[in-house]
Amino acid sequence: MAFDPSKDKILKAWKCEETGLIVSINQYDQGEPKLQIGPRILQRKEGGQRTPVKAGRLTVEDVDWLYSVIDEVRDELGKHAKPE
């Protein structure tokens, strides 16, 4: 079965304004919601946004930001998880 972009949903996303890192909860079709780290959307020096790039390796600033939002991310992911 081929990937169908119309079935891929972003349930919630967070963006670090300082580093451009995006963390999101995604779900494909009726599958289990999962956490995605990345992409990274950087600002152009002339203004505007550049094309998204891979998150790559995280900086201390990325980790500090992720640490500050991780409880909210965990709670949101838990809301979407199916009971066992």
Backbone angles phi, psi at 71, to 5 degrees: -65, -40
Q: Are strands 8-15 and 34-40 parallel, antiparallel or unpaired?
A: unpaired
Mean pLDDT of 8-30: 95
Model pTM score: 0.83
Give the range of the structural domain holding residue 20, as residue numbers without chain letter: 9-77
8 Å CB contact between 52 and 41? yes
Window from 20-24, 46-50, 61-65 with minimum mean pLDDT: 46-50
* Measured distance CA(35)–CA(55) in Å, rounded: 14
* Measured distance CA(68)–CA(57) in Å, rounded: 18
**1 belongs to a structural domain:** no
The predicted pLDDT at position 49 comes to: 67
* pLDDT, tens only, 28-57: 999 999 999 999 988 777 777 677 889 999
Tell which phi-psi region holds residue 41, choosing left (phi > 0), alpha (psi between -120 and 50) or beta.
Answer: beta
User: How many structural domains is the chain composed of?
Assistant: 1
